[in-house]
Amino acid sequence: MIYITRRETFNAAHRLFRPEWDDDKNLQVFGKCSNPNWHGHNYVLYVTVKGNVDPETGFLINLKDLSKILNEHVIEKLDHKNMNLEVDFMKGRIASTENLAIGIWEQIEEPIRKLGATLHSVKVYETEKNFIEYQG
């Protein structure tokens, strides 16, 4: 068993709030992250895949294939987008980093399995001071 990790980045706007709460309640729970005019981040994503080394190539997985999956299922959907308004897999979810990590996991688990490997971890840095890791 070996693990390979790929780092990708994307920029997005978001807002933390519950639509059934008024601005005061949202501010109280979510702080300045509830700003109705949005704010944003340079997100950093680390995706870790596990499996066995193919003796013919010395690879667990071809990184080009992994990059292609990440770009198609994650980066193109999120980069330079508004996470609350424009990202299909975040619809109906609070745009927290926790939910983002879970959403990304759901997008890529199946395509990675089709490559013959197993998704192990999705790690998302919202800022350099905090990150979420989800292992399914």
Q: Which residues bind a copy of itself (CB under 8 A)?
A: 1-9, 11-14, 16, 18, 29-33, 35, 37-42, 48, 53, 56-60, 62-64, 79-82, 85-86, 93-99, 101-102, 127-135
Say whether 110 is catalytic.
Answer: no
Catalytic entry in 80, 98, 106, 133: 80
126 catalytic? Reply is yes
- Distance separating alpha carbons of residues 51 and 73, to the nearest angstrom: 21
| Residue of 33, 41, 109, 120 marked active site | 33
Alpha carbons 136 and 43: distance in angstroms, whole number:
20
- Annotated active-site positions, please? 33, 80, 126
